[in-house]
Amino acid sequence: MVQPLNRFRETPSQTAGPYVHIGMTPNFCGIEGAYAQDLGALMVNGKTQGERITVRARVFDGTGTPLRDALIEIWQADAAGLYNSPSEMRGAADPNFSGWGRKATDMESGECIFETIRPGRVPFRDGRMQAPHISFWIVARGINLGLHTRMYFPEEEAANAADPLLARIEHRSRVPTLIAARADDGAYVFDIHLQGEHETVFLDV
């Protein structure tokens, strides 16, 4: 006999949060014992080559309010422009640099901080060199499919002007949404706006 379906309700798997934090950053959530530290928490060590930099990221909704339950992952090349990946065929990447980080935004400020290095340039699909950049992936409550974007560096004006991906952005007024700002303490500040006047350019990858 067929059962009526009106007793079934939406399941937790249909939303990205707060369950994404429990599974991906358990120590941040106070669930200790699975890992000594959350995966992706540290990208560098004392032997990592390259210039050390700090990246402070925030995610804002359409009203300009910081999301305090977002989770951000970043990927980037090492100082020589090589990825720590089995698919990297151009050479051996720095073994002391993970090339990948994961952080949850602070529950009060909405900010997360990555201690990393300045990435080298990597080739585009057609061989043209891209400007130094860091790739971002963002999820949060209400974002069921992760959003992809990039952070470029403000002092790389010539490289940014010749970057193949930035050149493909039709509305040139939106290019600055992918350029980080430099704080007084030297850190790079990258604000990601999900909607609104300053909406960040997101990538279909």
The proportion of the chain whose per-residue pLDDT surpasses 70, expressed as a percent, equals 91
Q: Is position 8 within any domain?
A: no
CB atoms within 10 A of CB 174: 13
Number of domains in the chain: 1
Rounded mean pLDDT, 138-145: 83
For the chain, percent helix, then strand, then coil, each to nearest 5?
10, 30, 60
Residues belonging to the chain = 205
Rounded mean pLDDT, 144-157: 94
Q: Is position 4 within any domain?
A: no
Q: Is position 2 within any domain?
A: no
Q: Is position 6 within any domain?
A: no
Q: What is the pLDDT of residue 3?
A: 61
CATH number where 52 lies: 2.60.130.10
Provide the edge-to-edge strand list for the sheet that holds 188-193.
111-117, 52-60, 188-193, 181-182
Q: What is the pLDDT of residue 176?
A: 97
Q: Is position 205 within any domain?
A: no
pLDDT tens, residue by residue, 151-178: 999 999 999 999 999 999 999 999 999 9
Q: Give me the helices (H) in the chain, please.
A: 19-24, 157-161, 164-167
Residues 6+ apart with CB under 8 A from 185: 54
Q: What is the pLDDT of residue 107?
A: 87
